[in-house]
Chains A and B, each alone.
Chain A
Amino acid sequence: MRHSLTLAIGPATFRIGSAWEQPIAQLRALYAAYPQDAAAIADYAVRLEPAGPLRRWWRPSVRIAGDHMLPDAAPMALRHGLLAAEMGMNLQMALGWRRHLLIHASSVEKGGRALVMTGESGSGKSTLAALLGERGWRFMGDEFALLDLADGRVHPFPRLVSLKNAAIGVMRAEVNDATRFGPMMRETPKGDIVHLIPPQDSIARMREPARPALLLFPRYGFARDVRPVGQGEAFMRLTQASTNYVALGEAGFDALHRFVTGVPALAVDYESGAAALDIIDALWGEVA
C-alpha cells in the first residue's frame, strides 16, 4: 500500500496500510509514544482501501480490509479514516486474537491489582476507565481486557480512548492538554468521536499485566445502586462479552472459571461520573 505504519499496542502488532496519507499521518501522530518499528513482524494487517475504482479521489470512501473481515461492513467517508483504522484494528483483535481470553471490557490498575469493567455500549465503562486513568489509576484499556490463559492476570491493551458524544466534553474538562486529543469526527456511524491519547505511564507500562481484583458491570443513567452478581451470572455475561471464548475451547473455559471464582463481581448503577467514581472508591477500599 502507498502509506503504511507498523504499530504495537500491548501484546499485538498491527501493520496498517492506506491508499491515502491522511489516516496514516493521524495515526502516526496520535500513536507517537507507542512502538512504531517498521521492521517488526505484525500479527495483523489492516488495509484502508478505496471502496471502488474511482473512490480514491471522487467522494473518497474507505473500505476496511484485513486478515479478518466482516463481509458486509459498510464503507466510511475518508474524513472518518482514522476511525476506520481503529475499527479495523479492533476487528482483527475481536476476530483473530487467540493468545488471551479477550473480554470486551475496560480496565485500570492500582497497586498491582486490576479493576475490570464490562457492559454494553453506553454503560460508561470506557469513560470511567479514562477518568480513573487521570485520577491516580493506571489506564490499561477502554475496549479489550486480555485475560492470561496460564496465570489469570489481565494484560493491557491501551489503544487510544475512543470518546463518543457526551464523553468528549467530560474528558475535555478532565484533561487540560489539547495535544492529547485527536481531531473531532462528526456524524460518524457511532455519533461524534474524538480520540484521546492515554496517559504516558499507561503507554510506557503497556506490557505489564495486573492481577484482577474486582469486576464491575456499570450501567449509566440509573439511580445509584450496587448489587452483587453471582458467579454463574458473571460467567454467563462474560462469555457473551468475549469474542473468542468459543474459539479458545477448554483453555477459555478454565480461564473464565478461574476469573469468576477469584474476583468479586458487582453491578453498579449510577447517575453521573462523579457518583460512579465515589462508588468505585468505596468498593476498591473494601477489596484492596
Chain B
Amino acid sequence: MKAGEARAYVRCADDESIWRELDGLNLVFHRPSGLTHMLTSPLPEICAALDNQPVTAATLLERLSARFDLGEEGDALAALEAHLAELAALGLIGSQPCAIA
C-alpha cells in the first residue's frame, strides 16, 4: 500500500474462513491459506462490522463508535487503520484502493 493512499475494506465471502469461539479467543481457519489464526478483541468486532459494501476506515470507525466506546477519534482511527491493514494482510478481510480521500 502506498503511503497516503486511501483504502476501502470489505468482508470476505463467508465460506472463505471458519470461525469458532474458545473462551474469549476467536479461532479462525482461513481456507485459501490453510492457516489458523487466533484473534482477540477488537479484531473479531472489526471483521463483524464489515459487510459486502467496501468502506473506508473512517466510515467503519463511525459504525464501530455507535456500538463501542473507542476513545479519542484521532488515536482510534490510527489504531483501526493498523488493525485493518493487519487483517487484510492475513487475507481475513478484503482491501482495495479507494477514490474517496
Do A and B share a complex? yes
B interface residue count range (under 10 / 10 to 19 / 20 to 34 / 35 or more): 10 to 19
A250 touches B31 (CB 8 A): yes
A113 contacts B by Cβ under 8 Å: no
B34 touches A246 (CB 8 A): yes
A253 touches B36 (CB 8 A): yes
Measured between beta carbons, the chain A residues less than 8 angstroms from B34 are 246, 249-250
Least Cβ distance of A263 to chain B in Å?
13
A232 contacts B by Cβ under 8 Å: yes
A90 contacts B by Cβ under 8 Å: no
- The interface-forming segment of B16-24, B42-50, B79-87 is B16-24
Do most interface residues of chain B lie in helix, strand or loop, or is the interface mixed?
Answer: strand
B27 contacts A by Cβ under 8 Å: yes
**CA–CA, A232 and B38, complex, Å:** 8
Do most interface residues of chain A lie in helix, strand or loop, or is the interface mixed?
Answer: helix
**CA–CA, A231 and B38, complex, Å:** 12
Measured between beta carbons, the chain B residues less than 8 angstroms from A260 are 22
Type the 1/0 row for B1-36, where 1 means its CB is closer than 8 Å to any CB of A: 000000000000000001010111101010100101
A235 touches B22 (CB 8 A): yes
21 A-B residue pairs with CB within 8 Å: A230-B22, A230-B23, A230-B24, A231-B22, A231-B25, A232-B22, A232-B24, A232-B27, A235-B22, A235-B27, A235-B38, A239-B36, A249-B34, A250-B18, A250-B29, A250-B31, A253-B18, A253-B29, A253-B36, A257-B20, A257-B22
Known: A232-B25, A250-B31. 13 other contacts (CB 8 A): A231-B23, A232-B24, A235-B22, A235-B27, A235-B38, A236-B38, A250-B18, A250-B29, A253-B27, A253-B29, A253-B36, A257-B20, A261-B22
